[in-house]
Structure 1
Amino acid sequence: TQIRCKEGWLYLVAVMDLGTRQIVGYAQGAVNSSQLVLNALESAWKYSQPVGKELLFHSDQGTQYRSEEVMAWLNGREVTISMSRRGNCWDNACAESFFALLKKEWTKPLGTIERSDMGDEIRYYIDEFYPKMRRHMTLGGLTPSAYAANS
């Protein structure tokens, strides 16, 4: 997703575990690129230490997700690749819901601030507020952290 800042856009890529709704990896930057996706994937891989062939990576069809570098990274780890149908945001509803919550609950009330400050706010939301305070009906009213601890 993208968030407006004083200097322009701040782009955010987030990798979500659909079972717990936890954000297991993310990256942000001033340029929307495949490198941002790779940084988020590396972050998620380091955090989760998964078995690649047991994973499904779902994204939209943005050029940054279809890049040779991202495809090689996923294929090299035997991750199954899934992409939304062209122009159908509902195929990626969980990610879209997360980004909508981030914007509604956190970034929109801040207004247009410096990119570095917005980055700090997003880090706090993803690392602290969302996993520890944000309850989800799909998780039985638990936060992602509480649900993961009980799983």
Structure 2
Amino acid sequence: MDGPDEIWCTDITEHPTREGRIYCAAVVDLFSRKVVGWSIDDNMRTELVVDALGMAILRRQPELQSTILHSDHGSQFTSWAFGRRLVDAGLVPSMGSIGDCYDNSLVESFWGTMQLELFDSRAWKTRAELAAAIFEWIECWYNPLRRHSSIGMLSPADFEAAHAPPDHDH
């Protein structure tokens, strides 16, 4: 992989609170491990993944037909609304073989890290409390600071900065 926005992976996870479950969808860039889009809700309806994808598209503005989005065969990812959002943004859909956990291993690894570092850190009282913690964990810790062995012990943000094309405006 030569740079960001070539392959994105997406999936959903869930975690209980005393108030009920919370669901989180994330879009992760395979190049840098950066979470480029995410969404939280109290249900797993299609809007959850469409909103995460929408955030990724707004933040990254990928070139038409240049970004592959890999997902599993979950109903949210095979829905008409999700497919329409992919087509409208010019993304190329990719779905792994049914039941092959390795196809989406990057995002599964991300969920495992979130489970250990955030979800299991304490009992969560409310959905709002956990949603705020997810926001802080992704935006204030994981993307800017958390180092990864697979990208030279850099954070996702630092890895992308180190591999950014030279600025030709100066």
TM class by smaller structure: over 0.9
Match of 1:110 in 2: 122
CA RMSD of aligned residues (A): 1.0
1:91-106 alignment to 2 at 5 Å? 91-106=103-118
Structure 1 residue corresponding to 2:38, chosen from 1, 26, 38? 26
Q: Which runs of 5+ in 1 are unaligned?
A: none
Letter in 2 for 1:130: Y
Larger radius of gyration: 2
Residue aligned with 2:65, SS: helix
Q: Report the alpha carbon displacement of residue 30 of structure 1 after superposing the two structures with TM.
A: 0.2
Match of 2:25 in 1: 13
Identity %: 30
Letter in 2 for 1:115: R
The structure whose residues are more often helix, as a share, is 1
Match of 1:83 in 2: 95
Q: Report the alpha carbon displacement of residue 145 of structure 1 after superposing the two structures with TM.
A: 1.0
Match of 1:69 in 2: 81
Question: Which digits, 9 at most, give the CA deviation of each residue in 1:113-147, with x for residues without a partner?
Answer: 21100000000011011012211111011111110
Count residues in correspondence: 151
Q: Which runs of 5+ in 2 are unaligned?
A: 1-12, 164-170
Match of 2:133 in 1: 121
Letter in 1 for 2:50: L
TM-score, normalised via structure 1 length: 0.96
Say if 2:66 and 2:91, in contact at 8 Å, map to a contact too. yes
TM-score, normalised via structure 2 length: 0.86
